[in-house]
Amino acid sequence: MAVGFDARRFLRDRRDNRRHAPEDLRAFVHALVHGGIETYQVTAWLMAAYLNPLDDEETFVLTDAMMRSGTVIEFAPGELPGPTVDKHSTGGVGDKISLPLAHLVAACGACVPMISGRGLGHTGGTLDKLESIPGFDPRLPVAAFKAQTKRLGLAFGAQTKELAPADGTLYALRDVTATVETIPLIVASILSKKYASGTAAVVFDVKTGRGAFMRELAQSKALAERLIAVSRRMDRQAVALVTDMDQPLGRAVGNALEVVESIEVLQGGGPPDVRELTLALAAEMLVLAGLERDVAAARSRATRALDGGDALGKFRAVVEAQGGDPRVVDDPTRLPRAPRTVPMKAARPGFVTKIDAYAVGEAIVALGGGRRRAEDTVDPAVGIVFERKVGDRVAEGDLLGVLHSGPADPLDVAKALAGAIEIGDRETAAVPLVRDRFD
């Protein structure tokens, strides 16, 4: 198919904002995976596609071609013990929701074949969090991924050479060419991976605010609408919640620290915002999967599974099945721990008016908890645990949070973080966690 692919003509079309023919987009994706286009041509196309965004039809064709660039997992009717449904977040800071949520929904009878990503830019990734559990292997081959979904109703997998490889190539190049933040490329990236995993339905958690890729509410809503429109063209069911990412989600930011917080939520505790978003998304997933008729009934079912310990039991089983140490559930000190902790204190009395999620995400990367380049390894132990959230009253000297750092001197990071937390005289009105819903 790539034979005859004229990369220069393809580039000229994008540069001059001429619509790509479907066969050209498919030939481009084929060339990406099998050879036939140079990396410098791909990056030129990415910038042209950033400046002249693809329309809906082009986005659909690109998504479909990227999904088919590797194996597309299929589950035969009756092969699984329950209906398939998955969740995808567009990326945030402290966003560990997949960990409690996937286990909770599987404990309620749905099957969740979950393909997750690594941290990108200032945002964290589920795979990095899972890998902080000693022994956990999220890179299941397709056959093992299918078998575990069948047996436990949940498996964690990664985008690999087998699954949506075109996204792997494009994603790494977008990250280093400042071409991540454009709706058509985000839609194609997310949907190609998700729908290669064999799920029939997805609930999208579209983040909005300073820690999101789409900072403005209007842009986030536009992204939610496009995710749903293209999902529909691909014959999949989808719902999207647009949720706040102005301040980090929960209290913990950093891979192992977020696993600890996820276990707390699975034990029926944890920070209120993490528990609330877990339940809100779980309810949507159970309705989308057809396991409950309405969101209220689905929420009660999910609440029972969370507070009754079923979701925690599922977590234990999945961790063990994927080679991880299940003892972390009862003894989180088995997770990697940073050698140093540095308290961050309030310089003045007042109310916390802002915790800038983007600055916090960048601070985690500076500590080694995220990547500057794709080949970097992450330090699973580093991070921050906040003791205060936006709206809280503080006295001078009160503990705002604790920085967990590696051997490197964390003082510059502590300074950057101090700038990320604002204390004012007046209490700010709380922003609702769920800003909008699309179906």
Please list the active-site residues.
88, 167, 174, 189, 193
- How many of the chain's residues bind ligand URA (CB under 6 A)? 8
Task: Dig out the tokens for 137 from the structure.
Answer: 């292997």
Give the integer Cα–Cα distance in Å for 289 and 291.
6
Identity of the residue, 179 or 247, whose beta carbon is nearer to ligand URA in the bound complex: 179
Say whether residue 186 binds ligand URA (CB under 6 A): yes
Strands of the sheet containing 350-355, edge to edge, are 393-394, 350-355, 421-424
Tokens linked to 437: 């819903």
Near ligand URA by CB under 6 A: residue from 59, 90, 126, 197: 90
Choose between 189 and 220: whose C-beta lies nearer to ligand URA. 189
Query: Cβ(282)–Cβ(302) under 8 Å?
Result: yes
Burial of 17 (0-12, 13-18, 19+ CB in 10 A): exposed
Q: Which of 70, 100, 113, 117 binds ligand URA (CB under 6 A)?
A: 117
Q: Does 241 bind ligand URA (CB under 6 A)?
A: no
**Is the torsion defined by CA of 417, 274, 180, 6 positive or negative?**
positive
* Residue 263: count of CB within 10 angstroms of its CB: 22
Least Cβ distance, residue 247 to ligand URA (angstroms):
20
Query: Does 245 help bind ligand URA (rule: CB under 6 A)?
Result: no
Q: Does 91 bind ligand URA (CB under 6 A)?
A: yes
The reply on whether position 32 binds ligand URA by CB under 6 A is: no
Instruction: Give whichever of 46 and 190 is closer to ligand URA, judged by the CB atom.
Output: 190
Q: Is 190 in the site for ligand URA (CB under 6 A)?
A: yes
Q: How far is the CB of 206 from ligand URA (least distance, A)?
A: 10
Contacts of residues 24-28 at CB distance under 8 Å and 24 or more positions apart, as own/partner, are 25/58, 25/61, 25/62, 25/65, 26/1, 26/61, 26/65, 27/1, 27/2, 28/65
Under a CB-based contact definition with an 8 Å cutoff, are residues 420 and 406 in contact? no
The only residue of 189, 199, 278, 405 in contact with ligand URA, by rule CB under 6 A: 189
Instruction: Give the CB-nearest residue to ligand URA.
Output: 189
The answer to whether residue 164 forms part of the interface with ligand URA (CB under 6 A) is no
Residues that bind ligand URA (CB under 6 A): 90-91, 117, 180, 186, 189-190, 213
